[in-house]
Amino acid sequence: MIIRTRLAAGACALLALLAAGVAFPAGAAADEVSAMAPKVDLVLDVSGSMRARDIDGQSRMAAAKQAFNEVLDATPEEVRLGIRTLGANYPGDDRKTGCKDTAQLYPVGPLDRTEAKAAVATLTPTGWTPIGPALLKAAEDLDGGEGSKRIVLISDGEDTCAPLDPCEVAREIAAKGIGLTIDTLGLVPNTKLRQQLSCIAEATGGTFTSVEHTEELTDKVNQLVDRAADPVVTPVATDGADRCEKAPTLKSGLYTDREEFGQQRWYRVDVRPGQELRASVSVAADRAVNPSYGVLVRAVTTSGREIVRGEAAGTGRTDVVSAGLRYPKADADDDEENAPAEAVCLQVTHSFSAGSGVKTTPGLPLELTVDVVDGPSPARDVASFGLGRGWWLLGALILAGFLAGLVWGWLSRWRVAVWRTN
């Protein structure tokens, strides 16, 4: 009896050790995944001006609530999302108190959609617009972890708490080197608000977007939240030339530049035989521009012959217009196996025009994506009749069918012979 008891106790201890051995690594793995989770803090202006009814017949606050509800429904599971407000709680006239009015409505972490929506539903336009203090607190909200960090600031008015300049605050955050990006959205912005929000975004490599419709707000916030879940790619600043001969040579990557009104920007990319060049460009209007505009990207040989082009147009409902192209370079023949790479020139042109009284410098922000990849299988690997390697599969199927027919015929004759014998 004693031996049996000891054996049972030993077996239980062994099972407990095995369970612990399995649990600890799993826990460690979960912690590692949590540390790498992307974080987003939505910072919403709830100042008194959000009562204005100029977005699709409803107030700016109502439009923001509607957009937030749709964004919360679409937020990826891996994103740790929080909501911070500014100007939501203090209705008085004391500037010192009003400039401290920023609070975390929903903490950055795993998203409980019902709880977050309930919190948003309680918001009422109230007080001041302390953008600078809110950005400082939002940076603290996102502290810790190794994943991407993004603040999405949504405001309808410029900061009212100077001398704490929100643009300087953004530069201070960028200088910390914590990889935090601030994107800004201006609700029906005036010129001053555009300049301030553009400066905040530019300081951290983010984007500014002007919003005048609820659908635009929903789409843009969704895009930014989704982008947080994507692998982080740091854009490289480059300086395009005014002609191909002087253009910088780019490799696969993401690049930023600025293009003046009425100018062209040129870049060069080396494409080897058998490779494919894929390029896309986006130009953003960070100031008031006239409606009806477009962007054109062309791939051109060094001698000036156009290879391929991509173009797109806008009508004033969006601040960003994008276009792209693909150029597959044929593989070299056997006697040209060591053929050199071809220098392809990329020309970027836009047709934005500045509104009346709007500064034309610096140029509009431009984002260029270059990707050089292995192209389709070489032509010489394609077999007869245009079937490529599928020809061998077709031949195998024909042979299999022929053999199956022989076997079936033999079995049929054998069955008939047996039947006649009986």
352, pLDDT greater than 60: yes
Any idea which residue has 């505009």 for tokens? 293
**What mean pLDDT comes out for the span 86-110?**
93
Position 418 scores a pLDDT of: 67
Q: What is the value of pTM for the model shown?
A: 0.58
Question: Taking the domain 236-374, which CATH number applies?
Answer: 2.60.120.380
User: Using 50, 70 and 90 to split pLDDT, how confident is the model at 357?
Assistant: confident
User: Using 50, 70 and 90 to split pLDDT, how confident is the model at 387?
Assistant: very low
Local structure of 293: helix, strand or coil: strand
Name residues whose C-beta falls within 8 Å of residue 34's C-beta, 6 or more positions apart in sequence. Answer: 145
Local structure of 59: helix, strand or coil: coil
Position 271 scores a pLDDT of: 93
Q: CB 185: neighbour CB atoms within 10 A?
A: 27
| Among 95-104, 187-196, 283-292, the range of highest mean pLDDT | 95-104
Position 238 scores a pLDDT of: 92
Q: Using DSSP, how many helices (H) and how many strands (E) does the chain show?
A: 9, 16
pLDDT digits 0-9 by tens, 296-313: 999 999 999 999 999 988
163, pLDDT greater than 50: yes
Residue 349, classified by CB atoms within 10 Å of its CB into exposed (0-12), middle (13-18) or buried (19+), is middle
Position 4 scores a pLDDT of: 44
Is-contact 329 313, C-beta < 8 A?
no
pLDDT digits 0-9 by tens, 320-346: 788 889 898 887 665 555 678 899 999
What is the average pLDDT score of the chain? 83
386, pLDDT greater than 50: no
pLDDT digits 0-9 by tens, 366-381: 999 999 988 654 443 3
Domain boundaries, the chain: 34-229, 236-374
Percent of the chain with pLDDT over 90: 47
| Ramachandran sector of residue 248 (left: φ over 0; alpha: ψ -120 to 50; beta: rest) | beta
151, pLDDT greater than 90: yes
Position 13 scores a pLDDT of: 45
Position 64 scores a pLDDT of: 95
**How many Cα atoms sit within 13 Å of 200 on the Cβ side?**
30
Q: Which of the following CATH numbers is that of domain 34-229: 2.90.10.10, 3.40.50.410, 3.60.15.10, 3.40.50.300?
A: 3.40.50.410
